Amino acid sequence: MILTGNKEYYKGVGSIQYEGKASDNPFAYKYYNPDQIVAGKTMRDHFKFAIAYWHSLCGQGGDPFGPGTQQFPWDASSDPIQRAKDKADAAFELITKLGFDYFCFHDVDLIEEAPTLTENEKRLQQITDYIAEKQQASGVKLLWGTANCFSNPVYMNGAATNPDFNVVARAGAQIKMALDITIKLGGENYVFWGGREGYMSLLNTDMSRELDHMAQLLTLARDYARAQGFKGNFFIEPKPMEPMKHQYDFDAATAIGFLNKYGLAKDFKLNIEVNHATLAQHTFEHELAVAADAGLLGSIDANRGDNQNGWDTDQFPVNIYEVTEAMLVFLRAGGLQGGGINFDAKIRRNSTDLEDIFHAHIGGADVFARALVAADRIMHQGGLEELRAARYASFDQGEGKRFEEGKLNLEDLTKIALQGSTPKQISGKQERYENILNQYI
Ligand code: XLS
Ligand code: NI
Ligand code: NI
């Protein structure tokens, strides 16, 4: 069901339906068929697609070299409350026309931040009352909420890691309010992305103390939310840099080490973003695998970077090969723990038609759908799993098995090596694996 407000914003675009790959309709899904079962689950349930409020409803295309290029009709009113309501109308029209079930937000995306925290809390109450009604009417759910503790200049030296306790306290207040509204809107998860939690120079930074403070604030946030009855997951979203020179949640492995060190791994999982992975000199597939192997693959922020530069360009995903590799990890892990696929992506600065946001999401949903089907076939018909398992067959019985079980010591290994013959050369056969991927894509 399409949900519009008093005014329809995306005129001329109706409900986006699955029409199959033979369709030439630019406003139809070619691969994303929400009710199609793949690996025992509908596509809708595998993905839990979400729109990102900040990029799709707020970001107007500004960059360090020029202002925004997109004029949003929902930004017209001079009253901040009315503006926020109009934006919510547009958001729900977009979500329901796409046939998505979820959205994600930062507190400041929903409504412009007020000059004081007290005033801000009132504003958040008002707009979330309004959004709750729209959720009720449409069935649209909140995948996750978060606090933007990086845009406001007060956070220029960090939020939880700020050397000034007064700023840490302010961040705590903002996070509490963001938790309150996330819980109020039935949020299934809550995200921490530490954009300013890091440093520009180690000369003025006590890294160890800052990390302790970050863990302390996360602990307080967890304890508060649990006391309010929040049952969902907390997600850490790793990113190596930008805006800071170095960010403490550098990559999945770093974030996992941090969660383990501070005893947070039971409540926290990871939200893996494609372009953050590539910024950290990893592949998307690598970051997913690191999270999944630790049992901490929580959610995905879907987008892509650009091969010619290292920025966080946040483009919509289109790379079928990259997403198929990712879907292999996704299926092996049994999907995501509590999260979904949030399109944390933005259209280009010169994509200035209101309808362009539909093309972007249709393309993103289709590439995930196509990749999921391909990955499922690669695993079940392509023989990739068997080939991979066979590489490790020497650990399935005999001494190899005893090694895995921790039953051999270094002297035992030495004895086995001295008694046995020189190991045979065994090919890794990478090209054969690559061909299987290509065959099923
Ligand atoms: C920025 C992050 C941000 C988080 C939420 O690079 O991706 O958008 O997802 O704060
Ligand atoms: Ni990002
Ligand atoms: Ni993100």
Q: What is the pLDDT of residue 310?
A: 80
- Asked about 106 being catalytic, the answer comes back as yes
Which class for 299: exposed (0-12), middle (13-18), buried (19 or more C-beta within 10 A)? buried
- Counting ligands in written order, the one closest to the CA of 193 is 1
Q: Where in the chain is the domain with CATH 3.20.20.150?
A: 17-369
* Separation of alpha carbons 14 and 311, rounded Å: 34
Instruction: Indicate which residue's Cα is closest to atom 2 of ligand 1.
Output: 193
Q: How far is the CA of 55 from the centre of ligand 1 (A)?
A: 10
Give the position, in ligand 1's atom list, of the atom nearest the Cα of 301: 9
Catalytic residue among 86, 89, 109, 314: 109
Marked catalytic residue, from 55, 106, 213, 286: 106
Residue identifier of the C-alpha nearest atom 3 of ligand 1 = 193
* Ligand at shortest distance from the CA of 104: 1
CA of residue 357 to ligand 2 center, whole Å:
18
Ligand 1 lining (C-beta closer than 6 Å): 106, 146, 191, 193, 237, 239, 273, 301, 312, 344
> Atom 5 in ligand 1: which residue has the minimum CA distance?
193
CA of 236 to the centre of ligand 1 (A): 10
Which numbered ligand comes closest to the C-alpha of 302? Answer: 3
Residues 133, 136, 141: CA angle, nearest 5 degrees: 110
Nearest CA to ligand 1 atom 10: 193
Q: Which atom of ligand 1 is nearest to the CA of 193?
A: 10
Among the bound ligands, name the one nearest to the CA of residue 277.
2
Residues with CB under 5 A from ligand 3 (ion): 273, 301, 344
What's the confidence (pLDDT) of residue 6? Answer: 84
**272 Cα–ligand 2 center, Å:** 10
* pTM for the model: 0.97
Judge residue 298's burial from the number of C-beta atoms within 10 Å of its C-beta, 0-12 exposed, 13-18 middle, 19 or more buried. Answer: buried
Ligand 1, pocket-test mutation among 51, 152, 193, most atoms within 8 A of CB: 193
pLDDT of res. 307? 87
Q: Among 106, 190, 301, which residue has the most ligand 1 atoms within 8 Å of its CB, making it the best to mutate?
A: 301
**193 Cα to the center of ligand 1, angstroms:** 6
pLDDT of residue 5: 87
Give Cβ neighbours of residue 84 (< 8 Å, ≥ 6 apart).
Answer: 110, 111, 112, 123, 126, 127, 130
Residue 314 alpha carbon to ligand 2 centre in Å: 7
CA nearest neighbour of 171 among 163, 162, 179, 159: 159
Question: Atom 8 in ligand 1: which residue has the minimum CA distance?
Answer: 344
pLDDT for 252 equals: 99
Q: Which pair of tokens denotes residue 155?
A: 């956070």
- What is the rounded CA–CA span in Å between residue 187 and residue 54? 17
**Count of CB atoms situated within 10 Å of the CB of 308:** 7
In single-letter form, the type of residue at position 153 comes to P
Exposed/middle/buried for 163, CB within 10 Å: 0-12, 13-18, 19+? middle
Can 109 be counted among the known catalytic residues?
Answer: yes
Point out the residues of the chain with pLDDT beneath 50: none
Using the 8-state DSSP alphabet, how is residue 355 labeled? T
CA of 91 to the centre of ligand 2 (A): 20
In the CATH scheme, what architecture does the domain 17-369 have?
A: Alpha-Beta Barrel (3.20)
